[in-house]
Structure 1
Amino acid sequence: MAMTLRTTPDDDAIITRIAERQGVSKNEAVLRAVRVIDEQQSHSDQVGESASKMLDRYSGLFERLRHT
């Protein structure tokens, strides 16, 4: 699917530098960046969900430890 990305001159320069460093097109550089952000946010979401489950599961233990 086609998409137009409007950037400022500064943003375009950043994308150009990234693309040149990686030896890819500017389009590919942007797609890679989007994928990295998605992976990071997905990981953060998973960690948050796991932490919440552990807090619920071990809340009694944590409460007892807090009073020791």
Structure 2
Amino acid sequence: MAMTLRLSPDQDRALTLLAEAQGSSKHEAAVRAIVTAAARLLNDAAVADLARDVIPGHAELESRIRRTRG
């Protein structure tokens, strides 16, 4: 699927630096960043779900942390 990605100059510079660090194109760097972020988010969600089931009181602790970040 084709998609146009509009970036600010600062975002474009960050993507350029990321691509250079990876030795890849900006397209490949963007794709890798998306996949990495999605995997981390899904893994974090799975860990949080497991913690809610396994650690007594985790839900209350998580709720308190979220309120303080608020």
Using the size of structure 1 for normalisation, the TM-score is 0.76
Structure 1's consecutive aligned runs of 4 or more residues displaced over 2 angstroms after TM superposition are: none
Q: Which runs of 5+ in 2 are unaligned?
A: 58-70
Q: Which has the larger radius of gyration?
A: 1
Q: Which residue number in structure 1 is paired with residue 4 of structure 2? A: 4
Aligned-partner residue type, residue 44 of structure 1? D
Aligned-partner residue type, residue 37 of structure 2? I
After TM superposition, the structure 1 = structure 2 runs for residues 5-20 of structure 1, keeping only pairs within 5 Å, are 5-20=5-20
After TM superposition, the structure 1 = structure 2 runs for residues 57-68 of structure 1, keeping only pairs within 5 Å, are none
Identity over the aligned pairs, expressed in percent? Answer: 39
Q: Using the TM superposition, give the Cα deviation of residue 15 of structure 1 relative to its aligned residue in structure 2, in angstroms.
A: 0.4
Give CA deviations for 1:45-65 in whole Å, capped at 9, x if unaligned. Answer: 01111111114xx67xxxxxx
Using the size of structure 2 for normalisation, the TM-score is 0.74
SS in 1 for 2:4: coil
CA distance in 1, matches of 2:45, 2:9: 33
Q: Using the TM superposition, give the Cα deviation of residue 44 of structure 1 relative to its aligned residue in structure 2, in angstroms.
A: 0.8
| Cα RMSD after superposing both structures | 1.4
Q: Which runs of 5+ in 1 are unaligned?
A: 60-68
